[in-house]
Amino acid sequence: MTLTLVGACLLVAPLLGLALGHVTYGASVASERAAAGHRHPVTATLLEAASSAQLGNEAGVSSSSARVRYTAPDGRVHRGFVQTTADMKTGEKVDAWSDTQGRLVAPPRTHTQMLVDATALGLLTACGVCLVAVLVWQAGRSRLDQRRFRSWDRAWLTFDARRSGQL
């Protein structure tokens, strides 16, 4: 039983993690390629200074939301809100992304982001497989221990009965 657990953790878990990571990466790349035709970079002009309500991001840089004006790929002028650094002033230019209808959309994911997501999912899958294997092993061990304890109890009852002359 222990050998099966070790085999699952050393062979099956990494293979499943690698396979799922590979599939996830492929799906991410395909999704970004499909969205590339519907997403266009635009240069937006800040209509107001970045708001004072600051949001923290992963890099520790303060960012905030600001109202902007931009020209969509179809030539129409639109207004919307984008995330900017907190120190940007009215009239400054900021890069943004727009879809074919002129709505502001999230920027495309970078190659690094897709690799990190796929790697994280692969590692979590491998850890999950090992966790499930350990839990199954522990449950089996517990059941076998209960069975052994019942057997010992019967053996002791038989021993006590023979010793006291009741058998």
Q: Which domain holds residue 13?
A: 1-38+108-155
3-class DSSP state of 29? helix
Count of domains for the chain: 2
Inside any domain, residue 164: no
Inside any domain, residue 60: yes
Residue 122: how many CB atoms within 10 A of its CB? 21
> Once rounded to an integer, what is the mean pLDDT over residues 16-24?
91
Regarding whether 67 and 23 lie in a shared domain, the answer is: no
Residue with tokens 């790929």: 73
- Considering the chain, what percentage of its residues have pLDDT values greater than 70? 90
Regarding whether 148 and 135 lie in a shared domain, the answer is: yes
> Once rounded to an integer, what is the mean pLDDT over residues 79-84?
90
pLDDT in tens, 103-146: 999 888 889 999 999 999 999 999 998 888 889 889 999 999 99
Give the separation between CA 63 and CA 76, rounded to whole angstroms. Answer: 28
Q: Which of 75, 63, 60, 70 is nearest to 92 (CA)?
A: 70
52, pLDDT greater than 60: no
